[in-house]
Structure 1
């Protein structure tokens, strides 16, 4: 059963390639030092543009998007205006949510995830749109019937007030934009980049982590082998996460506590990138492991962070969590597709706006509402 579950996690690797255009939107209230509106667009799991209410205009995040802005100013201005209009609309929805739920004080977060996926072999298009409220599943749009489904009983009185005219955009407009941007960013989005692979270990008793960073696209696998055979026992596979430079990273941890030193040479870590023939094979060698346990042992005399530092950190984490939520939701959709193939009724039960329950790792009072599993070290993306 465990092997079958692992196959489900990597089902997307061997399936037809699905091209994607996604939008992540967040509005907050009661959170100090944080923009009350944040939005980003994402193609092929790479951030195209970012905007928040402290800015005057959306900011391109890739060179080819900057070129699009220069070459097609009218198209870019249309996108800017649509973003500004939706900011006002989305803030009004936030007020509606709070009013109908009788929640006027405190910190409140509303998130929306929408977009489309296009199968480049079959031509099939799947659109989706859903809301999360204060870290919980809230509303999911059934695109086929153009009706909202309450994923939370509290959402019942709200769903009737929401716009149901999304089907045309999700099944026509969004795919048109997706195809346009795939052409505009052709050489960038169709490239392949091999990662650097390192062996890391926190303490002598910790698992050895095989960490691959800097690869593109995200269609990749990282496994541990023993004597050339793939290992499943004593191995924990990490998710594929984005780096700030539009590449990706992932890791696979091997529990070596029961491995005799003389047997280490029988183990290796293998990274495979879709479309690239040669794998990267890294032998389990104690001399090659990078560790920080000596440095960590002498950190006890550090000063406690000031109240100001804590406040600033909380604000940065809240913004970073938008990126994290995007990652968690992307991973959730990939896994949900595999689950649905086994149980069609699982659609709503697994419909977390921030990924599955095991993906939700909370880090603080302001972040609890929206933080999903991902490294918050990517705050510099914002």
Structure 2
């Protein structure tokens, strides 16, 4: 049987135009290592964690700067109350499941739920999901096409029958996953995109020495979807090009590079350009000696770094002032048609 616990390993996958919003609840019961929370909850947007809650700290923590505005609203407080409520329900559910599975030993047991949705940028595609697991195995899931719960194991049949009899709740869930979840997904994408701290990727041309390959390096962008292309005299260059995979930065942003391996004479006698496309915007860097950052020119390198650091400092100061003004003057988190405080609060099994 497929291990359901795999669903809780969030790996950012590169699917062009597809976005996802997922929330995972995990309850653990038994003799655990010191400091292990009995209950935790994590929400991710496109594979990036945006909030976190556990029963030890008893509060939600925004994991992205642009989530701090949302964390100051009443909805955030209501989300915390929901997680506290779910924690107690899951503790009782594990006791019920131990009886159903005839488990009398005092081992460690887990009960999990993963729910959310994904949608396409322009295709109109959307899909909701709501799944439960016990001890890492599929237990029960919501079939949104049939609008009913399906038990994955015999012990889940009583729960499926009980929850399927709640027709009002089933109608609400269909509304949520067909419409409201997608609405929230798009709202969070907008909040992330409009945040004053999020800018276009920083693009640099790097070279160790005059005979080394030239690296086009993009960093500081959200979402791993970015396209780096080398152009030779305006035409796309495929030969002698090595494109790397997106890598995460410590601040939650990503970086990516593309390496061009041509002789100095070839790139000096032709016009080579690095083109970076991100969220519909295109940044170009022409391959010239003035644009290249290299460690074989110490004096010029130090001067470049000094100018860069001063420029970043000024931008951060201006950005901070602008960000504070924006927070004071506007409230981007206006009432929405549905929020998680109205979402299905888990019931007993």
TM-score range, shorter-chain basis? 0.5 to 0.7
Distance change >3 Å, CA 145–CA 54, structure 1 → 2: same
Alignment of 1:277 onto 2:282? yes
Alignment of 1:328-343 (within 5 A): none
Alignment of 1:46 onto 2:48? yes
1:36 to 28, 35, 38: 38
Secondary structure at the aligned position of 2:122 is classed as coil
Alpha-carbon RMSD: 4.9
Distance change >3 Å, CA 180–CA 212, structure 1 → 2: closer
Secondary structure at the aligned position of 2:88 is classed as helix
Task: Give the structure 1 partner of residue 24 of structure 2.
Answer: 24
Alignment of 1:215 onto 2:259? no
Distance change >3 Å, CA 57–CA 178, structure 1 → 2: same
Q: Is the 8 A contact 2:133 2:140 kept in 1?
A: yes
Secondary structure at the aligned position of 1:277 is classed as strand
Q: Deviations over 1:183-202 (max 9, x none)?
A: 54451399554267999xxx
Cα deviation for residue 223 of structure 1 reads 9.4
- Structure-2 separation of matches of 1:189 and 1:139: 42
Distance change >3 Å, CA 176–CA 54, structure 1 → 2: same
Q: Is the 8 A contact 1:198 1:212 kept in 2?
A: no
Alignment of 1:156 onto 2:154? yes
Task: Give the structure 2 partner of residue 143 of structure 1.
Answer: 144
Please say which structure displays the higher CA radius of gyration. Answer: 2
- Structure-2 separation of matches of 1:111 and 1:249: 33
Alignment of 1:110-121 (within 5 A): 110-121=111-122
Cα deviation for residue 98 of structure 1 reads 3.5
Cα deviation for residue 63 of structure 1 reads 3.4
Q: How many residues align?
A: 257
- Structure-2 separation of matches of 1:23 and 1:177: 12
Secondary structure at the aligned position of 2:224 is classed as coil
Q: Which runs of 5+ in 1 are unaligned?
A: 1-8, 200-209, 255-261, 289-382
Q: Which runs of 5+ in 2 are unaligned?
A: 1-12, 165-169, 207-215, 231-235, 268-273, 288-293, 296-349
Alignment of 1:101 onto 2:72? no
Cα deviation for residue 141 of structure 1 reads 2.4
TM-score scaled by structure 2?
0.54
Task: Give the structure 2 partner of residue 194 of structure 1.
Answer: 201
Distance change >3 Å, CA 242–CA 159, structure 1 → 2: farther
Task: Give the structure 2 partner of residue 80 of structure 1.
Answer: 80
Cα deviation for residue 211 of structure 1 reads 9.2
Q: Is the 8 A contact 2:115 2:131 kept in 1?
A: yes
Cα deviation for residue 182 of structure 1 reads 4.1
TM-score scaled by structure 1?
0.50
Cα deviation for residue 170 of structure 1 reads 1.9
Distance change >3 Å, CA 128–CA 223, structure 1 → 2: farther
Q: Deviations over 1:163-193 (max 9, x none)?
A: 4533333223323433444454451399554
Task: Give the structure 1 partner of residue 185 of structure 2.
Answer: 178
